[in-house]
Structure 1
Amino acid sequence: MQTGSRKERDFIRENFGEIWPVHVSAFTRLLTQFRARFDGDLDLLLVLAVIGERTRPENWNPQLVSLEDLATRAEDRRSQYAINIQSIADYSGIPRETVRRKVLVLQRKGWVHRSDGGKLSISADAAPDLAVATGDTIAYLQKIFCAFENARDTGNGAAAIE
């Protein structure tokens, strides 16, 4: 996976003073909103995020999927790779027993499905239940996008990402 070009990193470095304050403010607000939406439990959010990120198919094509498609699609676990509790613990650094307890909460909420073999995947019920949190994420991304646009428009390294 490519993490960005040198040109993009240089642009961020050159415009860090303009981008960073927007990020810190917006990210702090996003975490505060997530904390409220996840009953004060950011580890619950992290476990759900790891399941979502680590079960995404390798052939994921974001150009073909809109937010509405993701939020309203019929449940199709075949389009996800399954993950187990130990893999979540290994990836996140959260102790296995804590992950197990968080998964039980996510299952009770209907956001995670556990197969007979213990493999976990995101449930179709998660998207509508988390629509407000998704809106919070979109607001965060919009602020970051605007910070980059403003930095580009001010001319300080403007050509770096064009």
Structure 2
Amino acid sequence: MKVCRLVHLIGSRKECAMSDPFYMNNLCNLDTPKGRAHSYINTYNVERAFRDNYTRYEYSFIEFYAEHLCDLSRAFKGDMQMVLLLATVAQVALRADMIVENSGGRVQELPPSRRGITTYRLADVTGIPRETTRRKLTAMEKMGWLTRENNFWCLAYEGDDAKIHQDLADVIDRSFRRAARFYVAVTPLVNS
């Protein structure tokens, strides 16, 4: 059983025992504006705040999500299966990138099994038929966005940057602004 000290924003101190690793793994320390007290937040409390403020949360989420999907639909000419496949490959690559970031290495130096995903696994995860998955991955390879290495599909790089990041730079820039708006909209719900 892990024990943590909760120092609430109102200044009271309380010992609590948390045996569930879920809560311990999702804790983060947030300094208050005065810098003296700390608040601990976890995914359970954030979810509860969203549920308690459902209408405001849902409006902000749908605004973010719908705008982002529309933007991606335009960029991919309506092929949302390609978006889903590329996002899944990118998720694997980004996780690998975060791992090597701490060691000063480059994601391209990792073996394909650490930074890529197989056609079979992509079809399984996304629910897209295997043959459709294969065709769309091959199309993205021809576009220069993906490479196939030892049966693993990986992001294609030009220097240190993934080619897709260069080709979709405008979409990515808009996603930063959109995510920032969403964050600003929901943060007060959690902090209330």
TM-score by length of 1: 0.76
Distance 1:32 1:48, change over 3 A: same
Report the equivalent of 2:3: none
Match of 2:155 among 101, 104, 122: 122
Aligned counterpart for 2:136 among listed residues 93, 98, 102: 102
| Counterpart residue type for residue 104 of structure 1 | T
Higher relative CO (CA 8 A, sep ≥ 6), structure 1 or 2? Answer: 1
Residue by residue over 1:95-142, the C-alpha shift from the partner in whole angstroms, topping out at 9 and shown as x without a partner, is 001100110111011110112x22110112121112112123212211
The answer on 1:140 being equivalent to 2:181 is no
Structure 1 residue matching 2:98: 3-state secondary structure: coil
1:86 aligns with 2:86: no
- In the alignment, the residues of structure 1 paired with residue 100 and residue 184 of structure 2 have an alpha-carbon distance, to the nearest angstrom, of 21
Report the aligned-residue RMSD. Answer: 2.8
Q: How big is the shift at 1:74?
A: 7.1
Q: How far apart are the structure 2 equivalents of 1:88 and 1:148? A: 32
Structure 1 pair 77–35 and aligned structure 2 pair: CA distance change class (3 A): farther
Distance 2:109 2:57 in 1: 38
Alignment gaps of 5+ in structure 2: 1-21, 27-41, 158-162
Please tell me the residue identity of whatever aligns with 1:94. Answer: I
Residue 147 of structure 2 is matched in structure 1 by: 113
The total of aligned residue pairs comes to 145
Q: Normalising to structure 2: TM-score of the pair?
A: 0.65
Cα deviation for residue 55 of structure 1 reads 4.0
2:89/2:153 contact within 8 Å kept: yes
> Which residue of structure 2 lines up, in the alignment, with residue 9 of structure 1?
47
Higher helix share: 1
Counterparts in 2 of 1:54-69, with a 5 A limit? 54-57=92-95, 60=98
**Retained in 1: the 8 A contact 2:92–2:117?**
yes
- Structure 2 CA distance for partners of 1:6 and 1:149, relative to 1, 3 Å: closer
**Which one has the largest radius of gyration?**
2
Deviations 1:37-91 (A, max 9, x none): 0121010010001111134446835996xxxxxxxx9772527522110010011
Gaps of 5+ in 1: 65-72
Q: From 81, 87, 98, give the equivalent of 1:43.
A: 81
In the alignment, the residues of structure 1 paired with residue 188 and residue 98 of structure 2 have an alpha-carbon distance, to the nearest angstrom, of 31
CA distance in 2: counterparts of 1:60 and 1:75, whole angstroms: 9
Q: Secondary structure of 2:115's match?
A: coil
More strand by share: 2
